[in-house]
């Protein structure tokens, strides 16, 4: 056995490898990204590993592997499950042969997401069991349990870690001599694998009949347990996921019952009925939605239990945001009628606030030049500027102020169409990255061409998937297996689907970029500008920029670009060489030619 101190996402990855997983697919998204990256870094002979173009594709690739009897895993963040929901809903009806685990990382807070949605709702909606680990150690065990559960009931199983479980650390012992299990092979049977209405009707009935059986099975699951009992108090705390870890830290010296739930759906009713014996008042701690609280209310009503349930629905626990130990402690003190200041454990002095990092494009980011070129070219014209998910969302920050909307991946292109159909006088622009272009942008451009929209699509191509950690995509020329592959040429794709004009320009060349935007604006229909320059984090640039003595301190460079490498020191413009990468955008903008590029060997 090997013992390592590892991140929760790495624990999930190793748990899958130790379970004999044969195929893993996913799309990068914080807080789930490191699961696939861990498998890529450790020995994984015999395991097919891929970053798919989006979550839907990943789900379908993994489903096919499970049809063939292999153990497969697909990873994504919570909003990615929206993209994959189409195959997921049908897959719940069709079922699997090999174990299939769907890891969906929820993001309470949210730290890096556009929603605080709760995947347990999705599990209930699609009738798929969900396991909810409260620590990296549990995540390691539960991914193995999920494969077993999946194969036992021929259904995919969702593993739902949250950010603090994904990014927390723990010592994990594991057998490093893991091997991928060879699948038994696909057995053709159209009555099982082809989803016709009659099959859906029959399987829906079977699923509903099966859920109580799974719930009974999960009532004996070791991670559904009474953590702490009390013979004196009739008060109890029920928690799941990372909230259970917070509760455990706060209740070591308290006299009350603590109940941990690891399988939110289907609810382990027998276990809960036994655990609730003697309880007359209970508070639920769970992040995101009041899922367990609602299920408890239904259970108490069904069995006429006289238990007062408190939580989000009663206003005792906040509906939004993360909980944390201090917050749980304060709520518990109120629940127990304790003095919030004089009793309990205060963690405030032990945990410093994290440093504030304003969301801003990096110094030298090529996207800054792209946004600024459009800003200069459009001038005072009426515009609609539709952004997308990724680094380019940061174009909304002042002084650029170049993103009017941001809804979800790929929506920038289709929303620009909507604005254009309603307002022909304005110019509609869509900003999207190269990875996002492949994920969900292409279909939006096809829609624009087919429906005769007049928009300009700006593809900010920095040769990577930057915001999630520089994963490859079909335009980079290599894949996650480390193989060099044929690049999917964005220009050719655009021309092939009927885009009227396609131009490619270096966004660090301000004059050429502005000219390209102006030229495209003269063309009716769908046109595209590919602003192409690599992300500064994947290239080693030795050039820097320096402010010369003839600087007049007009501050145009600072006020127009907002580059974090530039600031005022003693009322003088200065450039921080530790941040500057010598993109020269500031030099091109300076009306006095007071900034020069210098080369460092």
Instruction: Provide the CB-side half-sphere exposure for 231 (13 A, CA).
Output: 0
- Long-range pairs, 570-577, Cβ under 8 A, ≥24: 572/547, 573/547, 574/547, 575/544, 575/545, 575/546, 575/547, 576/363, 577/544, 577/546
For residue 312, give every residue at least 6 positions away whose Cβ sits within 8 Å of its Cβ, in sequence order, or none.
284, 286, 289, 290, 293, 318, 319
The 3-state DSSP class for residue 48 equals strand
Asked if residue 29 lies in contact with residue 189, where contact means CB atoms within 8 angstroms, the answer is: no
Dihedral over alpha carbons 149, 150, 152, 153 (to 10 degrees): 110
Burial of residue 364, with CB atoms counted within 10 A of its CB: 0-12 exposed, 13-18 middle, 19 or more buried: buried
Cis peptide before 31 (omega within 30 of 0): yes
Asked if residue 34 lies in contact with residue 10, where contact means CB atoms within 8 angstroms, the answer is: yes
Q: Is 391 annotated as a binding residue?
A: no
Asked if residue 494 lies in contact with residue 502, where contact means CB atoms within 8 angstroms, the answer is: yes
For residue 343, give every residue at least 6 positions away whose Cβ sits within 8 Å of its Cβ, in sequence order, or none.
333
Asked if residue 16 lies in contact with residue 161, where contact means CB atoms within 8 angstroms, the answer is: no
Asked if residue 413 lies in contact with residue 368, where contact means CB atoms within 8 angstroms, the answer is: no
Structure tokens at 168: 């927390």
**For residue 548, what are the CA distances in angstroms to 390, 544, 556, 582, 598?**
35, 13, 15, 15, 11
Q: Is 590 annotated as a binding residue?
A: yes
Q: How far apart are CA 523 and CA 455, in angstroms?
A: 10
- CB-CB neighbours of 198 under 10 Å: 9
Q: Is 551 annotated as a binding residue?
A: yes
Structure tokens at 408: 């979800």
Q: Is 583 annotated as a binding residue?
A: yes
Q: How far apart are CA 27 and CA 208, in angstroms?
A: 31
- CA 194, 72, 149 angle in degrees (round to 5)? 85
Q: How far apart are CA 224 and CA 268, in angstroms?
A: 8
Report the chain's C-alpha Rg in angstroms: 27
b/e per residue 390-401 (b: at least 16 CB within 10 A): bbbbbbbbeebe
Q: Is 408 annotated as a binding residue?
A: no
Q: Is 586 annotated as a binding residue?
A: yes
State the DSSP string of 26-53. Answer: E---TTTTHHHHHHHHS--TT-EEEE-S
Asked if residue 503 lies in contact with residue 520, where contact means CB atoms within 8 angstroms, the answer is: yes
The 3-state DSSP composition of the chain as helix, strand, coil percent (nearest 5) reads 35, 20, 45
Q: How far apart are CA 486 and CA 498, in angstroms?
A: 22
The 3-state DSSP class for residue 421 equals helix
Asked if residue 257 lies in contact with residue 236, where contact means CB atoms within 8 angstroms, the answer is: yes
For residue 482, give every residue at least 6 positions away whose Cβ sits within 8 Å of its Cβ, in sequence order, or none.
none
Asked if residue 106 lies in contact with residue 118, where contact means CB atoms within 8 angstroms, the answer is: yes
Strand partners, 272: none
Q: Binding site for [4Fe-4S] cluster: what residues are annotated? A: 551, 554, 557, 563, 580, 583, 586, 590
Q: Binding site: what residues are annotated? A: 551, 554, 557, 563, 580, 583, 586, 590
């Amino acid at each position: 056995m090997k013992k390592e101190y590892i991140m929760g996402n790495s624990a999930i990855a190793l748990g899958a490898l130790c379970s004999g997983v044969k195929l893993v697919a996913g799309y990068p998204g914080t807080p789930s990204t490191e699961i696939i990256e861990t498998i890529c870094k450790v020995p994984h002979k015999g395991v097919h590993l891929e970053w798919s173009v989006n979550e839907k594709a990943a789900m379908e690739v993994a489903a096919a592997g499970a049809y063939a009897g292999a153990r497969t895993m697909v990873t994504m963040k919570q909003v990615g499950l929206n993209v994959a929901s189409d195959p997921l809903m049908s897959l719940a009806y069709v079922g699997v042969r090999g174990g299939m685990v769907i890891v969906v990382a929820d993001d309470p807070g949210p730290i890096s997401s556009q929603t605080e949605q709760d995947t347990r709702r999705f599990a209930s909606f699609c009738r798929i069991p969900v396991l909810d680990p409260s620590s990296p150690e549990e995540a390691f065990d539960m991914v193995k349990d999920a494969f077993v559960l999946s194969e036992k009931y021929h259904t995919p199983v969702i593993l739902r870690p949250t950010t603090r479980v994904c990014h927390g650390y723990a010592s994990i012992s594991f057998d490093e001599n893991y091997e991928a299990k060879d699948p038994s092979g696909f057995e053709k049977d159209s009555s099982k694998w082809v989803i016709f209405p009659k099959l859906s009707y029959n399987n829906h009935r079977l699923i509903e009949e099966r859920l109580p059986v799974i719930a009974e099975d999960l009532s004996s699951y070791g991670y559904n347990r009474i953590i702490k009992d009390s013979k004196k108090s009739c008060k109890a705390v029920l928690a799941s996921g990372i909230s259970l870890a917070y509760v455990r830290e706060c209740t070591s010296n308290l006299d009350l019952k603590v109940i941990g739930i690891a399988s939110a759906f289907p609810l382990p009713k027998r276990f809960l009925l036994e655990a609730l014996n003697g309880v007359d008042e209970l508070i639920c701690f769970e992040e995101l939605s009041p899922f367990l609280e609602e299920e408890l209310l239904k259970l108490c009503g069904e069995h006429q239990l006289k238990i007062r349930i408190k939580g989000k629905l009663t206003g005792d626990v906040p509906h939004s945001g993360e909980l944390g130990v201090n917050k749980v402690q304060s709520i518990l003190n109120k629940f127990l009628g304790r003095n919030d200041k004089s009793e309990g454990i205060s963690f405030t002095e032990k945990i410093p606030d994290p440093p504030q990092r304003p969301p801003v494009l990096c110094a030298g980011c090529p996207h800054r030049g792209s946004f600024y070129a459009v800003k200069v070219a459009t001038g005072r014209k009426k515009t609609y500027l539709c952004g997308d998910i990724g680094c380019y969302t940061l174009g909304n920050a002042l002084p650029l102020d170049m993103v009017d909307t941001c809804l979800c991946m790929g929506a920038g292109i289709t929303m620009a169409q909507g604005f254009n159909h309603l307002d022909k006088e304005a110019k509609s622009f869509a900003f999207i990255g190269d990875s996002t272009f492949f994920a969900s942008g292409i279909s939006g451009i096809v829609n624009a061409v087919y429906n005769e929209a007049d928009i300009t699509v700006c593809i900010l191509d920095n040769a990577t998937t930057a915001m999630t950690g520089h994963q490859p995509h079909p335009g980079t020329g290599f894949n996650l297996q480390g193989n060099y592959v044929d690049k999917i040429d964005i220009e050719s794709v655009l021309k092939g689907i009927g885009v009227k004009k396609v131009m490619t320009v270096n966004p660090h060349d301000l004059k050429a970029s502005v000219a390209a935007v102006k030229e495209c604006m003269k063309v009716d229909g769908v046109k595209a500008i590919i602003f192409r320059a690599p992300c500064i984090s994947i290239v080693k640039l030795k050039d820097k920029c320096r402010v010369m003595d003839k600087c007049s301190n007009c501050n145009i460079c600072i006020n127009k670009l907002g580059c974090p490498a530039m600031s005022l020191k003693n009322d003088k413009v200065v450039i921080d060489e530790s941040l500057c990468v010598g993109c020269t955008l500031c030099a091109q903008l300076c009306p006095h030619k007071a900034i020069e590029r210098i080369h460092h060997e």
